[in-house]
Structure 1
Amino acid sequence: MSRPLSALERADFSPSRYVLKNATVPACLTSGAIEPRGDGLGRAHLLVEHGDVIAVVSREDMLGGGAGPEIDLDGGLVLPGFVDMHTHLDKGHIWPRRPNPDGSFAGALEAVSADRPANWNTTDLRRRMEFSLRTAYAQGTVMIRTHLDSIPPQEGISWPLFEELRVEWADRIELQASALFGIESLLVPEFLPHMADVVARARGTLGAVTYMVEGLAGHLDAMFEAAKARGLDLDFHVDETGDPSARSLAMIAETAIRRKFRGRIVVGHCCSLACQEPDEADRTLDLVARAGIGVVSLPMCNMYLQDRQAGRTPRWRGVTLLHEMKARGIPVAVASDNTRDPFYAYGDMDMVEVFTQAMRIAHLDHPVGDWIRAVTSTPADLLGEGTRGRIEPGLPADLVVFSARDWNELGARPKGPRRVLRSGREISSDLPDHRELDDLMEPRTHA
């Protein structure tokens, strides 16, 4: 005997006007009227018309009899489209041809350094980046910032391609890009002006990997000055290590305060902060809060790389001090980071996986409360797109509808049934097959 269809399976999202009845929505992501159900969630009815959310109400009679066909979700969770603010689309899916030999950070650097000059031409990059974009789109992501390796001559290939993809994907995923290079690249005098100009022409974000190198203070000053002169925001990879002496985060915050920088600043990773003495960590967090810096944690990648030693069980999870940051009012997000490359062997551009794994890794639960902001409204705000990641009247009905009815069910079955809506209409949730990239996976050696 066949089983009866669930409420989600029966749903028909084809009419131009309909009501999502008995939906469960996060209170922190809407100003609409909802009936509280605990743990930051509430029950509501959503009216969708011509691709937009028109109303969010807590009682059916407020919509009136002519609101349109009703889709009774039976308490199913409804979330806004996700914002993945820290990815590496250019590195994605190279694992089969360039695996990390030992799972270490050094091994990842060596593998990517070998793969980039040998393989990262326009065709190879486009196919791998589009594979990731198709995957993210099918799973409900509406906005992505990717970091682009910008070590010459790669910037002349990756940035023009990114600009093409941004236009081609504009009606599906809003794309941003940030430059990525080691801060020591600034030892070459002409490097920073050139790279900052490349970023400015592409309407991107200026970024670098910071660590405790000689002259770091001067390099940071130069980065802030280059960004200010061109009206650019900043996005740094920071202290991605378990070494407690890595304190570039504090130096970035001090530089931002001293220079009165008005642009947006985002820092990613900040792993060493969790290994420092409490007084030192508190001092740094106070500086970050004062500087108005946003933090994005990459829990899956950091747990994979950090504290890895052959034959030894890791002693810590690699994540930064998310709870302490949030308590100080520091905007905190989590994101995918790397996908099937030497820095993270796994991942699937799925923000539900990112969120539910972050819940487990960093204890973003009991209660979950408003932590869902970390993959929706907070990264949207940090990327300058304050209408993303919310369920509000007047905004596009870019929604992800789940069979799961609360955080527990979502966390227990993150790959459970979901349907993705863009402008109120369902899109295909079919994921591309990894076999599509097989012909790119033969390793080549740079001539």
Structure 2
Amino acid sequence: MLNPVVLHHDRYWLLNAHCPVTLLPAHWPDGGDRTGLTPVNLCIADGQLVALQPAAVLPSDPLPTLDLERRMVLPGFVDSHTHLDKGHIWERSPNPDGTFTSALHATRTDAATHWHHEDVRRRMEFGLRCSEAHGTTAIRTHIDCGRGQAEISLPVAVQLREAWRDRITLQLVSLVGLDDFLTPAGVAVADQIADLGAVLGAVIYPHPDLDARLDTVFQLASDRQIQQLDFHVDETKDPTSMSLRHVAQAALRHRFQGHILCGHCCSLAMQPPDEVEKTLNLVRDAGIDLVSLPMCNLFLQDRRTDGTTPRWRGVTLAHEARQAGIALSFASDNCRDPFYGFGDHDMLEVWTQSVRIAHLDYPYGDWIRAVNDQPSHSMGLGANRLEPGRSADLVIFTARWYSELLARSQHDRLVLRHGKPSDRTLPDYRELDDLVVS
């Protein structure tokens, strides 16, 4: 067990931390062990990382020290694709058969019945508290804005964004169908997003006039100087679904200079190699980033109702995207709702399952960046690394190597915010009992 007394000082050293070289300053003097980990001393002063040095170099100043004995240290997690407004409704609105269609129906029915101001606020804040306890420092959440829900959920989300600004950076994204933007209500949502400094987003389904609908979205963004777009694309195993390619073509057509993040991209894994290559080249040329949601898509994709076993994992072509020069992250997506009946807003669980599902372990390389540094870039927040000058928002694990980190839940991790221990108490599910309708 660590003695946390040292961590309450304003200035101190963490000695013998085990850190991924890929998250350390450029030109670090060694490449680490066979998995890319290396022992590091980190100096924290007034809430910031102010110095890093190889563990073999002993500090020359008289500051208090805490020997981590090779415990792994990572920067705080960044969760770039969530649905906090849907979270924790499973007990009152479960998915009857695990399919995407049933998830959509159950969620819409639940929203029509229950999603008033207080219900949305309490469930979203529950998710934020879980995220904070696990070590997440920034979240992008999609907010259902169709069927008049924007009038309820967006103000709640804005209130939480402000209330949590010193604890978690919260980005808000509209979630509507593309067709909505052809209506006055959809245009009003775009206006709200612009006024709130939020992200314009939509879910995309194949359509004969898809390009024209995408042109409408890009024009709405241009007219309102919205610099970030976020799309749900190709969340299906249908190989003919190529919405990702159409988004890339639209971005190039409009010469869009902002950030575009596309999530899911499941059908890409079902397409012939030549079609995959065409799409990935366009995505790269358009500067689009991708985010994969392995846990939710493992749950939903290839779901069968005939008693047979699913044949594929539902994830996009993560390795191929990276090899094509495309930035890719992993994120949590839904949590305890009809789209995913499990989860705890824990990005370590997301990364652990991503390693297992997508085979990220031979070698680990810089895949660990996909849950901290890369999603931070994709959200327009800049780097999130272990470097001098950055806030000392760290997660310290009992695990010393990846083999230990990925083997246990690491619920005894230590979370530092601005160099000080953060509350690691997870909220009790009983707090939501009065929201559950039996």
Query: One fold, TM greater than 0.5?
Result: yes
1:250-289 equivalence runs, <5 A? 250-289=245-284
Letter in 2 for 1:339: C
Whether 1:230 aligns to 2:224 is yes
Q: Deviations over 1:192-226 (max 9, x none)?
A: 32111011111111111111123211100000111
Q: Which residue of 1 aligns with 2:330?
A: 334
Which is worse superposed, 196-205 or 56-65?
Answer: 56-65
Q: Which residue of 2 aligns with 1:191?
A: 185
Contact 1:380 1:386 in 2 (8 A): yes
- CA separation in 1, counterparts of 2:56 and 2:410? 30
Letter in 2 for 1:257: L
Q: Which residue of 1 aligns with 2:95?
A: 100
Distance change in 2, residues 1:178/1:15 (3 Å)? same
Which is worse superposed, 342-351 or 41-50?
Answer: 41-50
Task: Give the drift of 1:11.
Answer: 6.7
- Structure 2 residue runs of 5 or longer lacking an equivalent are none
- CA separation in 1, counterparts of 2:321 and 2:296? 20
> How large is the RMSD of aligned CA atoms in angstroms?
1.4
1:173-322 equivalence runs, <5 A? 173-188=168-183, 190-232=184-226, 233-310=228-305, 311-322=307-318
Contact 2:399 2:410 in 1 (8 A): no
Distance change in 2, residues 1:72/1:192 (3 Å)? same
What percentage of aligned pairs have identical amino acids? 50
Letter in 2 for 1:342: P
Out of 344, 348, 352, the position equivalent to 1:352 is 348
Report the 3-state secondary structure (helix = DSSP H, G, I; strand = E; otherwise coil) of the residue aligned with 1:134. Answer: helix
Q: Deviations over 1:353-400 (max 9, x none)?
A: 00000000011111111101110111000111114x211111111000
Contact 1:410 1:416 in 2 (8 A): no
Equivalent residues, number = 434
Letter in 2 for 1:401: I
- CA separation in 2, counterparts of 1:176 and 1:113? 23
1:73-92 equivalence runs, <5 A? 73-92=68-87
Q: Deviations over 1:66-110 (max 9, x none)?
A: 2x1111111000000000000000000000000001010001000
Normalising by structure 1, report the TM-score.
0.95
Distance change in 2, residues 1:49/1:153 (3 Å)? same
Moved beyond 3 Å, runs of 4+: 8-12, 32-35, 59-62
Which is worse superposed, 279-288 or 53-62?
Answer: 53-62
Q: Which residue of 1 aligns with 2:121?
A: 126
- CA separation in 2, counterparts of 1:9 and 1:121? 45
Q: Which residue of 1 aligns with 2:10?
A: 16
Contact 2:304 2:310 in 1 (8 A): yes
Letter in 2 for 1:274: A
Whether 1:378 aligns to 2:378 is no
Contact 1:13 1:425 in 2 (8 A): yes
Contact 2:397 2:410 in 1 (8 A): no
- CA separation in 2, counterparts of 1:31 and 1:417? 28
Letter in 1 for 2:16: N
- Structure 1 residue runs of 5 or longer lacking an equivalent are 1-5
Contact 2:294 2:315 in 1 (8 A): yes
Report the 3-state secondary structure (helix = DSSP H, G, I; strand = E; otherwise coil) of the residue aligned with 1:355. Answer: helix
Contact 1:39 1:368 in 2 (8 A): yes
Contact 1:228 1:263 in 2 (8 A): no
1:25-174 equivalence runs, <5 A? 25-31=19-25, 33=28, 35=30, 36-59=32-55, 61=57, 63-66=59-62, 68-174=63-169
Task: Give the drift of 1:184.
Answer: 2.6
- CA separation in 2, counterparts of 1:45 and 1:34? 13
- CA separation in 1, counterparts of 2:107 and 2:24? 42
Q: Which residue of 1 aligns with 2:385?
A: 390
Task: Give the drift of 1:141.
Answer: 0.3
Normalising by structure 2, report the TM-score.
0.97
- CA separation in 2, counterparts of 1:293 and 1:147? 18
